[in-house]
């Protein structure tokens, strides 16, 4: 990457949070993220976007060599780039690179400053909300139109309940939580501080448990007398479902991030800072260790354990315990290297069959 004209960004005054994008310059953006600036400091920047959708007023993003190859053909005026990534075709007389230790983290810092705040209900309890007289609301709690708060429930200081939330009886919600529109939190569930729940998630519905009726005619529902406990700083995506325990609690550890449309069944124990991507389905009594990551659409059978720091590839089907720190993929899931060997071998089967037939060893082989 061309490194001439690289300077430490001047300590200019950066736009405040929510400032209009047309107030930004390449120098201001560099100062905000602590970047070295390779190029002009006075380029006007009005938007953030990808390299292939950029114009001259765009600040783009280069995290690795693959993205760097697009710089020469992009119209972007400036880009945040990870230090050490070579950027072919950079002309520091015309365009600017903001060189940082980690482009992903720098972009997060920038987005935190410019992303508009989510618009919530006004202070207080909306006239069309219903709060049971025995419920306790902390200071600065906001309750939106159509929301309902059940008897004996406690809502912590600064928490926001958006429109049409339904909070059951004897629920405990901590401080500074953000419960978005249409969320349902059933009876006796417990939320820590700074929990974010996106629209239409359901916390504490009955688990899916049935047994054949003694007379063999139909099914008998298993009551679920437990609850859900959610730790501090957990974020739960839109439409996610977390079922209450049969007895005891379904537990979501502090800092866990759960994507949209995830199903977590009764009595699961999800560790701290786990990442569970969209459309995962986790059956009952599964234990997932701290820091584990499940890719999109993973299915996990009941009563298995996924160890701390393990990673499971998208669309995998987990049928057995996964040791801590291992990477598993496939259906059924196996250690990643084993799965890749199986996939590679499967791809060679047509050639192997052809050779066998050429040797006259074709008895029982499917010719279709």
Question: Catalytic amino acids?
Answer: 266
Quick count: other Cβ atoms within 10 Å of Cβ 22?
12
Beta bridge partners of 193: none
Residue 219's DSSP bridge partners are 212
- Considering only CA atoms, which of 198, 201, 353 is closest in space to residue 263? 201
How many other C-beta atoms are found inside a 10 Å radius of the C-beta of residue 301?
15
Where helices occur in 15-142 by DSSP H, the ranges are 26-33, 65-68, 103-114
Tell me how far apart the alpha carbons of residues 238 and 259 are, in angstroms, rounded to a whole number: 7
Phi-psi region of 182 (alpha: psi -120 to 50; beta: other; left: phi over 0): left
162 closest CA partner among 186, 178, 184: 178
DSSP state of 322: B
Half-sphere exposure of 335 (CA within 13 A, CB side): 7
Q: Is 286 exposed, middle or buried (0-12, 13-18, 19+ CB in 10 A)?
A: buried
Taking Cα atoms as reference points, which of 124, 121, 58, 70 lies closest to residue 95? 58
Q: What is the C-alpha to C-alpha distance for residues 321 and 303, in angstroms, rounded to an integer?
A: 9
The three-state secondary structure class of 356 is helix
């Amino acid at each position: 990457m061309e490194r001439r004209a690289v300077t430490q960004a001047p300590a200019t005054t950066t736009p405040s949070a929510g400032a209009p994008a047309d107030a930004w310059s390449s120098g201001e953006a560099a100062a905000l993220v602590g970047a070295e600036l390779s190029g002009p400091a006075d380029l006007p920047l009005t938007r953030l976007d990808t390299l292939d959708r950029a114009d001259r007023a765009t600040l783009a993003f280069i995290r690795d060599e693959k993205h760097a190859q697009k710089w020469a053909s992009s119209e972007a005026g400036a880009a945040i780039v990870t230090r050490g990534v070579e950027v072919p075709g950079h002309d520091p007389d015309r365009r600017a690179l903001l060189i940082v230790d980690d482009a992903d983290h720098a972009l997060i810092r920038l987005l935190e400053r410019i992303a508009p705040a989510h618009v919530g209900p006004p202070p207080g309890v909306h006239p069309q909300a219903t709060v049971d007289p025995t419920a306790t609301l902390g200071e600065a709690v906001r309750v939106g139109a159509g929301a309902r708060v059940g008897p004996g429930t406690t809502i912590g200081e600064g928490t926001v309940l958006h429109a049409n939330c339904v909070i059951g009886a004897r629920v405990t919600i901590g401080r500074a939580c953000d419960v978005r529109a249409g969320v349902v939190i059933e009876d006796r569930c417990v939320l820590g501080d700074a929990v974010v729940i996106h629209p239409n998630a359901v916390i504490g519905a009955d688990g899916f448990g049935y047994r054949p009726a003694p007379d063999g005619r139909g099914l008998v529902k298993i009551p679920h007398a437990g609850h859900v406990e959610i730790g501090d700083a957990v974020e739960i995506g839109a439409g996610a479902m977390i079922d209450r325990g049969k007895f005891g609690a379904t537990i979501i550890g502090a800092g866990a991030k759960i994507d949209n449309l995830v199903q977590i069944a009764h009595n699961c124990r999800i560790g701290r800072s786990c990442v569970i991507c969209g459309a995962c389905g986790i059956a009952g009594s599964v234990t997932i260790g701290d820091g584990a990551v499940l890719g999109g659409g993973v299915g996990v059978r009941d009563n298995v354990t996924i160890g701390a720091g393990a990673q499971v590839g998208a669309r995998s089907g987990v049928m057995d315990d996964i040791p801590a720190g291992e990477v598993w993929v496939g259906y059924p899931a196996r250690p990643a290297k084993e799965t890749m060997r199986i996939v590679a071998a499967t791809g060679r089967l047509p050639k192997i069959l052809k050779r066998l037939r050429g040797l006259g060893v074709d008895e029982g082989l499917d010719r279709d």
